[in-house]
Structure formats: structure tokens, C-alpha cells
Amino acid sequence: MAYTPQTAKTTASVSRFLAKATAGPRLADAKRLVGMLQKATGDKAAMWGPAIVGCGTRTIAYADGRKAQWPTVAFSPRKSAFVFYIAWRKHPDLLKKIGKYKTVGGCLHVKTLQDIDEPALQRLITAAHRTWAD
């Protein structure tokens, strides 16, 4: 039987998801982040599973040999922070320049774009995309 990952690209509306998941200034931030992902990749943002907005596509391999598609750059607007799924570890020089953030596991957490140097974040997202672009 073929493996079907839990987080796969869907046809769900990014705009509708963001409108339900965020409000006020966080919705404006989320919309700006979508623009940043799209600028970095040249792709239209898509939903990956029920709560991740991503652009670009790459193949990932699990330890057991299974393979799945995953976005090259993505984020999820969680209540406590925007959680980025990007190759930030590959770009420590750019990471240092973005402003206030946390890293947890492989994810980059940003509470609000007000705490961030947006041009520096754009450079990081663009570099992260280039790291994984197939």
C-alpha cells in the first residue's frame, strides 16, 4: 500500500484558513508572510494539511525509507507565534539578522512581525527556499 502523509498539499483556500485562524494585526502579518513566501519561490501559496501555508515543493525521505512531498518554505499561524518550516539552520548568518525569535526543534518561532526586520526575514526565506528547491 502506498504511503499517504498526514501533511499533504490540499486545494483548501489559504485566505479562508487565515481568516479563521487569525484576526486583526495577526491576520495582516499572516497575509504579509504569504507574500514573502510567494516572492521567495515564485509559487502561489497552498495549504499543506489543515494548518500549514507553504510554497515550493521538495521531496523528503523518512528514516524508514518512505518519501513524501513537503513545501520548501512554510508557516503556521499558531496562537502563540508564527511557526516557520524553513531551512534556518543552513543560514545562521541570516538568522542572526531577523530580530526576536525562538527556535524549537527544527522550527523557527516569531511572535509578531513587529519584532522582526522584514527585509532580513525575506532574505532568510529566499535562501531557505533555494536550499531545498528541487
Query: 81-97: per-residue pLDDT in tens?
Result: 999 999 999 999 999 99
On the question of pLDDT at 3 being above 60, the answer is: no
- The mean per-residue pLDDT over the stretch 101-121 comes to 95
- The mean per-residue pLDDT over the stretch 48-69 comes to 90
pLDDT for 5: 60
Q: Please, are residues 128 and 88 in contact by the beta-carbon 8 Å criterion?
A: yes
pLDDT for 1: 44
Q: Please, are residues 72 and 132 in contact by the beta-carbon 8 Å criterion?
A: yes
Helix (H, G, I), strand (E, B) or coil at 120: helix
Please state the pTM of the whole predicted model.
Answer: 0.91
Q: Where are the beta strands (DSSP E) in the chain?
A: 46-48, 52-55, 58-61, 67-70, 73-77, 82-85, 102-104, 107-110
pLDDT band at 62 (very low <50, low <70, confident <90, very high): confident
Residue type (1 letter), 29: D
pLDDT for 4: 58
CA angle 90, 96, 97 (to 5 degrees): 115
pLDDT for 85: 95
| Residue 44 CA to its chain's centroid (Å) | 13
Cell numbers describing residue 9:
498539499
The share of the chain scoring above pLDDT 70, in percent, equals 95
On the question of pLDDT at 66 being above 60, the answer is: yes
Helix, strand, coil abundance in the chain, percent, nearest 5: 40, 25, 35
